[in-house]
Amino acid sequence: MKRFQGIIYALLSSASFGMIPMFAVPALRGGMNTTSVLFYRMAFSAVLMGIFVLMRRADMRLTRRQLFTIIGLSVFYMASSLFLLESYLYLPSGIATTIHFLYPVFVTMLMVSLFHEKLSGMMMVAIVMAVGGVYLLSSGNSGGSVSMFGIGIVLITVVAYGSYIVGVKQTCASRVDGPAMTFYVLLFTAIQCGINVLLHGEGLQPIPGFRIGLDLVLLALIPTLVSNLFLILAIHKVGSTITAVLGCMEPLTAVGVGVLFLGEEVRGLQYLGIVIILTAVALVILGNRKKAV
């Protein structure tokens, strides 16, 4: 039951994370820069999560070691969020999404090489299928030139996000209550985003209007707070590798959002990518059912 809950949490995390374009794109199109959007996203989510943990009366105690570990993890989380957003300025979103989804491979490499995790043949097949499915899913939205600088930026997100996922499970932070850890990660990330705004010298842009303000609040709530909370809960229950592989629901959701809300179309190869991704998810679920028996 614990492993099944973890799989559900991982799917909810990646699916909600894939809704970023739905709320971030209107703010960027409204003239806001990436540093301001990212600060509002993290600051609003930290406030909302703070209210939640207070109402829940979560255990907020940290040891000094846990405090500095979570600060370190928030650096990885902030880097992945910032550079992924920046990569969209240099790469077509389909290419950026495909490269970013190499992070399950990086997670697997870390878990096998550093923590001696053993992978089943079914899990290896699921990883290959997930990456291949994301490639096909992004094929219909990958027009435009390829910038080597943009590729370098998005590769940073692979290392940063993969390191964050592994760190949540393999460090002393794993013993911190899930909602409490989510709050601290979001809080420290918001502080770093604020510092980043100051370093850019442009200052924090005011929110242009109510509609964009609502989009920023929803950006903070759904693909940030909800996604990160379920991510941490999933890692605690099923580990880093399975959680990373199930992140394939992220680009699937992004495509769905594009079709339903942004007027985009799904083409032949993308349908094949959807089938492959769903098959990869089924393999992960089946593999874990066998372990539970």
User: Tokens at residue 99, please?
Assistant: 């490269």
Residue, of 87 and 221, whose pLDDT is higher? 221
pLDDT value at residue 26: 86
pLDDT value at residue 77: 96
Q: List, for residues 6-41, the tens digit of each pLDDT value.
A: 999 999 998 898 888 788 878 888 889 889 999 999
Residue 221: pLDDT band with limits 50, 70, 90:
very high
pLDDT value at residue 293: 44
Q: What is the mean pLDDT of residues 281-287?
A: 79
C-beta separation of 173 from 66 below 8 A: yes
| Sign of the C-alpha dihedral computed for residues 66, 68, 73 and 77 taken in this order | positive
Q: Around Cβ 142, how many Cβ atoms within 10 Å?
A: 16
C-beta separation of 198 from 152 below 8 A: no
Lowest-pLDDT range of 15-19, 77-81, 247-251, 277-281: 247-251
pLDDT value at residue 45: 97
pLDDT over threshold 50, residue 258: yes
Q: Whole-model pTM?
A: 0.86
**% of the chain beyond a pLDDT of 90:** 47
pLDDT over threshold 80, residue 125: yes
Radius of gyration (C-alpha) of the chain in whole angstroms: 18
C-beta separation of 257 from 143 below 8 A: no
By CB atoms closer than 10 A (0-12, 13-18, 19+), residue 121 is exposed
Query: Could you tell me where the beta strands, DSSP code E, fall in 100-187?
Result: none
Q: What is the mean pLDDT of residues 125-133?
A: 87
Residue 204: pLDDT band with limits 50, 70, 90:
very high
Amino acid at 102: L
pLDDT value at residue 289: 56
What is the spatial distance between Cα 89 and Cα 139, in angstroms, rounded to a whole number? Answer: 18
Residue 77: enclosing H or E segment and its boundaries?
Answer: helix 64-87
pLDDT over threshold 80, residue 72: yes
Mean of the per-residue pLDDT values of the chain: 86
**% of the chain beyond a pLDDT of 70:** 92
Q: List, for residues 149-187, the tens digit of each pLDDT value.
A: 888 898 999 999 999 999 999 999 999 999 999 999 999
3-state secondary structure 246-286: HHHHHHHHHHHHHHHHCCCCCCHHHHHHHHHHHHHHHHHHH
pLDDT value at residue 145: 53
pLDDT over threshold 70, residue 261: yes
